[in-house]
Amino acid sequence: MRGTFDEYRRELDGMAFSPGEKNELVGRLSHAAAPRRARLPRAAVAAGVAIALGAGVVTAYATGALGAAADFLLDVFGEDAAQTQTIADAVQPAGASAAAGGLTVSADAVLGDDTHYVVVYSLTPDDPTLFEGVARSDEGTVLLDFSNIAIPENEGASGGGMGAYFYDADPEDASVQYVQQCWAQSEGGLAGTSAYVKFVDLYALDPETLKPVGEPLATGTWELEVPLDYESEAIALPVGQTVDFEGASVTVTELSVSPLGVLVSYDLAGTPDASQEFPQLNLPVFVSFADGTSFDATWAGGFGDDAHVTKGASFDRIVDTDDIVSVTVGDVTVEVPHA
């Protein structure tokens, strides 16, 4: 099976997605945008895009006097009182900006934990009319795409994934915003490290075909080093549980939750007897909340081989960890402790 994973990675290395194809895979998962301080119903979470990275397979998957960074996250995740303190912890990265082709890309807000983080960028053109003719989707997202978007590289990370979309936080100004929801596994956690980001050539997309229209709106390469200078609120949960998964014995080696998502790592003895391709990644994982709802992280972004897998999923909103009741891995439920 390790050979199968390696072959899959080689195939992915040879893939190239056009802006329109990437938008079809990722952009449809976006949600409605609105002016500053008006809520986006849900933040986009990527799924269904497979990208080779590092050592394994990955899949792309408030109120009060808050700062400018938190304002952007209010647009993305809403003003639920339970989210206020977490959103208030957002930071504005110092010096994370790049200019090329008459366009400046700057990181305005970052919020994260040990394995997940959200970055909101502003794209500000020298020509204030640049984005006036760009179409909006029925969901309200701005139909833009870069010709090349690399998953952010994180210091010491062995794998990760990303979901992304464009929206307009304030239709009265010339800028549009770009949101990345990322996860990556790094020994010691991501907090205090940096994410290295690269974008190439910005296009407008046709609303019917979701393919690039004409020449790029801005031509160039934008490379940023985004400091992840936030405080992690991740909660590490007990591990060592052994469950049966389609005939394979699975032992949980790492498990954590945070306001942004869930991460699980596990060892496998045997190969799951399942019809899915790479069934090792498909161990059922569910997060249960106090209001009776749950979040399915079963087919989350992941990487690994036939003996060990790590996978993580970003929630579709920022949550209060006090509202997370438990995480179920396979048929074992682990309760989340609260002070």
For the chain, give every domain's residue range: 2-227, 235-335
Q: Considering the domain 235-335 in this protein, what is its CATH number?
A: 2.60.40
Which phi and psi (to 5°) does residue 191 adopt?
-55, 130
As a whole number of angstroms, the distance between CA 87 and CA 66 comes to 9
Q: Does domain 2-227 have CATH number 2.60.40.1630?
A: yes
Whole-model pTM?
Answer: 0.74
Query: Which parts of 44-193 are beta strand (E)?
Result: 49-53, 56-60, 97-100, 103-112, 116-125, 144-149, 153-154, 157-167, 176-186
pLDDT band at 151 (very low <50, low <70, confident <90, very high): low
Tell me if 2-227 shares its fold with 235-335.
Answer: yes
Q: Give the pairing of strands 49-53 and 56-60.
A: antiparallel
Which stretch of DSSP H or E encloses residue 4?
helix 2-13
* Mean pLDDT of the chain, nearest integer: 76
> 3-state DSSP call for residue 12?
helix
Average pLDDT over residues 41-47: 32
pLDDT of residue 68: 66
Give the containing element (helix H, strand E) for 304. strand 301-304
CA–CA separation, 35 vs 160, rounded Å? 31
Q: Render pLDDT for 161-180 as a digit per residue (tens, 0 to 9).
A: 778 889 998 889 999 999 98
Number of neighbours of residue 270 by Cβ within 10 angstroms? 13
Alpha-carbon span 268 to 252, nearest angstrom? 9
Strand (E) or helix (H) holding 301: strand 301-304
